[in-house]
Amino acid sequence: MIEGLIARHGEIRVLDAGGRAEYWNMLPPELAARVHLTILNYGDELADYSARTQPHVIYENVTGDACAMPQYADGEFHLVHSNSAIEHVGSYTKMIAFANEVRRVGQAYYVQTPNVWFPIDPHVAFPFVHWLPDPIRLWCFSRFSIGLAGRSDFARAASILDDWRMIGASTMRALFPDARHSAERFAVVLRKSLIAVRHG
């Protein structure tokens, strides 16, 4: 998408909604030189990861909330990119706000999120726990050591549930009705993550 947008516009503005600068190390220097990159995230996320970014990646860190971006005009960015962020915004109402803002400020967008129906929760690297009802998940996280989360007290367990709300394909389609939808596959059959793309 970036190559196509650069071919059309020469230089482009890209917003990474909820991202980290080090993610963009994959961008080759010849493309990075033509991308004006803005990383929008909470302050602690921005500070923790910026030191790992390669010198050829030129970017601006902006502290903010991708669910509400009044500082940006409609269509201000050629591309809004979001990788595994929408499942961390909290409630479904916040997801709707996030999706609406991505669609508003981006002429094009690429949004990826883990698929709730993939059997392993990538946030904790543990199978099936994300399929349990919230009260049972809360009980499990506060009493057992579960994957990368380890054992948590009640407050931390509640925070995990609030912060990791994975969604399925039908929810993704409802959030991004103007997108082309696809799924990243794992082991041929299993759909590991969901992708919504709108070309500008």
Q: Clarify whether residues 71 and 154 are in a common domain.
A: no
- pLDDT truncated to tens, each residue of the chain (200 aa)? 999 999 999 999 999 999 998 899 999 999 999 999 999 998 877 776 667 888 899 999 999 999 999 999 999 999 999 999 999 999 999 999 999 999 999 999 999 999 999 999 999 999 999 999 999 999 999 999 999 999 889 999 999 888 889 999 999 999 999 999 998 877 656 778 999 999 97
Q: Clarify whether residues 90 and 66 are in a common domain.
A: yes
Count the neighbouring beta carbons within 10 Å of the beta carbon of residue 156.
Answer: 13
> The CATH number of the domain where 92 resides is what?
3.40.50.150
Residue 9 CA to residue 162 CA, distance in Å, equals: 40
Residue of 197, 172, 182 lying closest to 109 (CA atoms) = 197
Q: Clarify whether residues 52 and 130 are in a common domain.
A: no
Q: Clarify whether residues 103 and 37 are in a common domain.
A: yes
Q: Clarify whether residues 109 and 85 are in a common domain.
A: yes
Residue 70 CA to residue 59 CA, distance in Å, equals: 20
Residue 75 CA to residue 106 CA, distance in Å, equals: 5
Q: Clarify whether residues 99 and 184 are in a common domain.
A: yes
Q: Clarify whether residues 129 and 156 are in a common domain.
A: yes
Count the neighbouring beta carbons within 10 Å of the beta carbon of residue 185.
Answer: 11
Looking at residue 52, what is its pLDDT? 80
| Structural domain span for residue 107 | 2-115+165-198
Q: Clarify whether residues 129 and 79 are in a common domain.
A: no
Domain count, the chain: 2
Looking at residue 50, what is its pLDDT? 66
Q: Clarify whether residues 138 and 176 are in a common domain.
A: no
Looking at residue 48, what is its pLDDT? 66
